[in-house]
Amino acid sequence: MNGAAFIVISVLTLAGALAAATLRNLMHAAFCLVVALLGLASFFFLLGAEFVGLALVFIYIGAVAVLIVFTILLTRRDSKEHYGIICGFNLGGSKNSIAVRRPAAHSGTHG
């Protein structure tokens, strides 16, 4: 039973870690990090180190992963709410480039 449990836990842990490193959506990556950390904690439970497994669950999953999720939720900006950007086009930068490229109507020096 331990061999089968080890294989299932290792596949789950590796899949969660690989997904956390490669997913583009930050929320999905954070949840996959939680899955990977749960797999790591389950290794400790399988080895009989319940204190270390519970410490991993409480500290990393209960605090760090939740902090990552809250940070993502609080700092994410929706493209509609971001001022000056329409469909990925920055209006402030285009206004500055037009102002710089436009020739001056009257220059101060006379030749």
Give me the architecture of the 2-77 domain, per CATH.
Up-down Bundle (1.20)
Q: Could you tell me the pTM of the whole model?
A: 0.62
> In angstroms, what is the C-alpha Rg of the chain?
26
For residue 78, the Cα-to-chain-centroid distance in whole angstroms is 15
Residues with Cβ within 8 Å of 38's Cβ and at least 6 positions away in sequence, in order, are 16, 57, 61
Contact 17, 40 (CB under 8 A): no
Tokens of 9: 């836990």
Residue 88 is predicted with a pLDDT of 53
Q: For 1-29, what is the mean pLDDT? A: 90
Taking only the tens place, the pLDDT of each residue in 52-86 is 999 998 888 888 878 888 888 888 765 455 555 55
